[in-house]
Chains A and B, each alone.
Chain A
Amino acid sequence: MRLALRELRRRPSRFAVATVILTLIALLLMFLGGLIDGLLGSSTGAYRAQRAELIAYSPSARESLVRSRITPEVRAEVESTPGVAAVGGLGSVQLGARPGDEPTTRDLLPTALFGYELAPTGLPTTPPAAGTVVADSALRADGVREGDTLLLGPQRSPVEVVGFVDDTRYSGQSSLWGSLDTWRAVVSENRPDQAVGDTVQALVVQTDGTGTKAVADAIDAATGQRTVTLTIAAAIEALPGVAQQRATFNQIIGVTVLIALVVVALFFALITVERTALYGILKAVGASGATLFAGVVTQAVVVSLIAAGVGVAGALALDALIPPGGIPFDPTPARLASSVGLMLVAAIAGCAFSLRRVLRIDPASAIGTAS
């Protein structure tokens, strides 16, 4: 192993091209991963922040908040279902927002206003007073500050920002959280086609600790199937495009890892062929096949770690360079770590292609070839 590391130090140029290729592949893995995390993060924050375990839609809504309507009667049935500890109404509307002091600007902030009763993580237990909202902290990057007034929609419905909450974006837009009354008023003024009367779009449900699946089934049974109740995790997967995006990107990442594996296999197979005579001599002086193979693996791991390290730096640099509102790229520590892990797995698995060749080397014939 020492010999392998010494070769890396003494002849780095031999490994330079492979390192560059693996760096590009590492960067690709991290970019693809950061892209899907960014896309999903900006689409699902409002759901991930929910402290409730379940969400109930109307059956014809196909798990779409905009199309779902829950009447007070259905809500009463949900509240009386055994296993239900608390129920809160939820509503949303997506509107452009203007700063209060620029009512005529054409440069709008894309926002989603939520009306809530059961507070998601980071929000006050009692919803803000009518006409006031808690804003997602992503809006700080757009210059929104506490105490600012935002004018929502074509009717410029004013709402005052009274605080901020992290990581609650929805459908790629920054969220605003207010009371159901605030939401109803804004919808009625700006989107008469989506007006809701005394209904809410969905109910978020906290259970009393009974199994969530059982409570979900009980709710749907109690309402006579006038609700479709999902766990929050299932509701996130049901958001438009989430499952498809995740599956497609995971497949692309999988094939990219496979390419990394083939590159490592190719490179070290060729290096092994080149070193056949050298390995023969080392075997003749007592080195075992396992020792020699460990050297190959060590080199592959070191090269991959360097590539992954540069890849991490590149991904972070890219993240810093992308302007807010540009590509939804979010290189989370977990994603970067998993990408490094995948690179190492590919490196070790790729080396396995050289194992048989290393073990098969016959010292006598190898020395003969060398001489």
Chain B
Amino acid sequence: MDKNKPTVAVYKFSSCDGCQLSLLNMEDELLSLADAVDIAFFIEASRATKPGPYDIALVEGSVTTSHEIERIKEIRQDAKFLIALGTCATAGGVQALRNFADASEYAKTVYAHPEYLNYLPTATPIADHVKVDLELWGCPVNKAEVIEVIVALLNNRKPNLPTYSVCLQCKRRGTICVLVDKGIPCLGPATIAGCGALCPANGRGCYGCFGPFRDANLPALTEALQKAERYPGETMRLYRGISGNAPLFRKAADAILSTGKDTRKETK
């Protein structure tokens, strides 16, 4: 990477803005960041834009329209190092719940004139469309991890990101296991650390918003979760949540379906 100020571009796809906001929420670091890098394209923060190519592209959101497919290809061509920022960009995000349903039915539910809409039947992660150099998970991303990634890039080193599950963070902060102790279904054993194990610390189960932990023992977890269900289908709901389109969570949900153990009920 360039020794003098690297250029950074920030882009938004289908999303809530929360991950971009994590940049603006770096209240203590924002001005230093603006000194260390050249924020060349970040329209949520500035009218002034500079043309590419850029050293680092941060991409928030998932791909949900044909126009977005074209846009991400152009952005990739303009970027030396492309980071998918947050669970929408890495797994499709909450809007990828349409992937398990008929999106046209959703459109009819929400809009009076669905024929006016332009959308794809699925919401997909950035890596389904272009090469992604680094994925940073989280809904929203943890701003400390964003800083770590940028600092690592500026110093030509590998970012130091967690490779373990939420469980380990619970142990470190001294949170008693909500699943074992209180019988609350918790996706922590199958979720990558990064949030700081916030949900168990707040007396509830993890709902997997940072995405799957690669080495999780999903069949064992599914069994434990199904035993602890407080309402019919809770385990399926956990897998098919914010990160539901992530391959490992999809696999776990599909395994429940294929073994005929789906406890969900039809709505009345």
A associates with B: no
CB within 8 Å of A: which residues of B?
none
Q: Tell me the A residues contacting B by CB distance below 8 Å.
A: none
